[in-house]
Structure 1
């Protein structure tokens, strides 16, 4: 049975991916910080919870215990408070860089050598349209997602002759808890009104489709965005 490691598995896209991979027969290592959410997730057959802080590199290394990983989904991420860069707090900047980029590179470094030795494996990175286009009040978030996108694409070339595949998920507006702590309930409702947001299960289905491609094919990135604009954007026109 193949093993999949999914970070940020306690909610949103990560949870949907963990459930989908477990349904497809993977042994899923669900990594996150929310112990209660992980406990609930562990009731799903095939899911093993790993409650750890992703930025704690020693703890992450111990949790993996040298277990080989066939599929790595680097999904964990945070959104710093929305503000102009000049008004940002240094602690928020440091946290975003640590979680959205540095910790993911470190985790990948733990997994990828064994994948290359075994001659197979697939790594996914949850990027964002914010990594490919500028948005106001999101300079640091845009920078971290651009960095993870650049890393994923260059990594794909490094491992190309080792039988290992790399895919960047370029996600648009997805209905998750990403904005829960930085936007009011009213603003979040407006953002997702009228079924104008991608659902986490949509991303999970697309990831499953990419995994099922022949080993000779590497989908270097896929963009998954809403078919319609948000209702709030339409009303502004």
Structure 2
């Protein structure tokens, strides 16, 4: 039985990592969950495990979601999908990487939010979540474009709250430090990520982010948790230093 007023959710980037943990947790909370990702195989595995409704989609084109939002009263949207290609200085970054990060990290969540709000405003309920990053709050080397997209999301959230005053719709940004997911393994390579970030370190796990989202969602609807910044205890808030635990 659904434990909360919200009954239907959409989670992007749901095939692995943070998105997968969020989708699983929302199902356990009684929500019907549409799980979106471009990896059909992993989505189907997730659907068999916990009953999400899989949507295979490349977020470079969000237009196929229009029909879903027109026909379904989606109460919770978790804009989680993110892209961080191989770490590189901006001067060495291929232009295709720039376009891809803008498409996935910024354009897609804005367009999905625009679609979602049409119904949310009419129903006078809804909760929009954005999984940002400490890289959008503080500078990190070799991640200029990624940081710019996450900073844009952060300011978008602040501005959107102004536009939505009186609508009863909540907007929550989650800005974590280093979480143990495939994002950094893609950016740094498997061995380097393990050596610099994970082996011997105490990392935030995807399930911790899912817990924060559920906590924010289940507060009374007049309580809007606007931003949560969360770091490993062993990571400095500036994001560039993390210490091992002996």
Fold agreement, TM-score > 0.5:
yes
Q: Give the C-alpha shift of residue 33 in structure 1.
A: 0.5
Aligned residues: 234
2:210 is matched with 204
1:55 is matched with 60
Answering whether residue 202 of structure 2 is matched by residue 192 of structure 1, we say no
Q: Give the C-alpha shift of residue 84 in structure 1.
A: 1.1
Gaps of 5+ in 2: none
Gaps of 5+ in 1: none
Aligned-residue RMSD, C-alpha: 1.6
Any residues of structure 2 matched to 1:152-231 within 5 Å, and which?
152-190=157-195, 191-229=197-235
Deviation beyond 4 Å, 4+ runs, structure 1: none
SS at match of 2:127: strand
1:71 is matched with 76
Change (3 A) 1:46 1:160: farther
Question: Which one of 20, 23, 27 corresponds to residue 18 of structure 1?
Answer: 23
Change (3 A) 1:233 1:223: closer
What is the TM-score with the length of structure 2 in the denominator? 0.90
SS at match of 1:6: strand
Quick check: 121-130 or 49-58, which moved more?
49-58
Q: Give the C-alpha shift of residue 97 in structure 1.
A: 0.4
| CA distance in 1: counterparts of 2:199 and 2:222, whole angstroms | 40
Q: Give the C-alpha shift of residue 152 in structure 1.
A: 1.1
SS at match of 1:78: coil
| CA distance in 2: counterparts of 1:55 and 1:146, whole angstroms | 20
Question: Which one of 41, 46, 52 corresponds to residue 41 of structure 1?
Answer: 46
